[in-house]
Amino acid sequence: MTVYDAIVLAGGAAKRLGGADKPALRVGGRALLDRVLAACADAAATVVVGGRRPTVRPVTWAREEPQGGGPLAALGAGVRLTTAGHLLVLSADLPFLGESTVKELLAAAAQGERDGALCVDQDGRDQPLVAVYRSEPLRRELALLATEHGSLAGLPLRLLTHELDLSRVEASPLASFDCDTWEDIAAARARIREHGTVLDEWITAVKNELGIELDVDTDVLLDLARDAAHGVARPAAPLTTFLVGYAAAKASGDGGGAEAVAEAARKAAALALRWADEAETP
């Protein structure tokens, strides 16, 4: 795994959101900034450029000079506080960014002698704030731009990316979906409640809220809940899954473990089936 630092740009005026505090807006019960921080949880160091706020994990804070100076000025402020050879650069409004996309970018950036890798969206547009850059060429080009223009304030990101040799990564269609308007926020909130994704989103949100690092096999737990509800009584479903979690935590030490959950669920499911058999046997 490539060692990397993460830089998350969490400033900006959010004009199309009426000046709302965009990084703090919630999608699926979690702040946009926290969702992005979860996707890069294994970064060696994480710098957030923007106003200080509570976050799901510790970060280093920075501010661009001048404040409101734009993404290049913010990127320059973040780079100064990093040391890794590869830098993951993200905006703070990516509700669907996942660890898999981060890994794809890191893998692409580590190949050959190119200067990094960035996402391209469904329309083929470059997304320079969903990207991994090699530190040395990034620092060099930022310094050259600052010298040429007097500062980085107000400069567009394309001035940077045009000077770098970057790979393009076609990640999942939603990886670079960002929230610039209230319509985007509404669309993101609706999408995570769709049938195919709502359970994974909910489990992730609960683990985040409780500080749990655990891979949960939702199919196993849902099967257990169904068996308990059918074979015993409907209220037995949530009570049984709670007891399984408690037993798994005791069996595997503080924090629990996937194997302990699976074993406890297996035992409880077998018990529920035996209970049902007794009720059906004359």
- The pLDDT of residue 280: 66
Residue 113 tokens read as 């002698």
Separation between Cα atoms, residue 256 and residue 158, nearest integer Å: 47
- The pLDDT of residue 279: 66
pTM of the model: 0.81
- The pLDDT of residue 104: 95
Residue 33 tokens read as 């900034």
- Residue ranges of the chain whose pLDDT lies below 50: none
Residues 6+ apart with CB under 8 A from 137: 115, 116, 164
Answer whether 94's CB lies under 8 Å from 175's CB: yes
| Angle between helical axes of 99-110 and 32-39 (0-180°, round to 10) | 50
Residues 6+ apart with CB under 8 A from 96: 172, 174, 175, 177, 188, 191
Residue bearing tokens 């000079």: 65
- The pLDDT of residue 282: 59
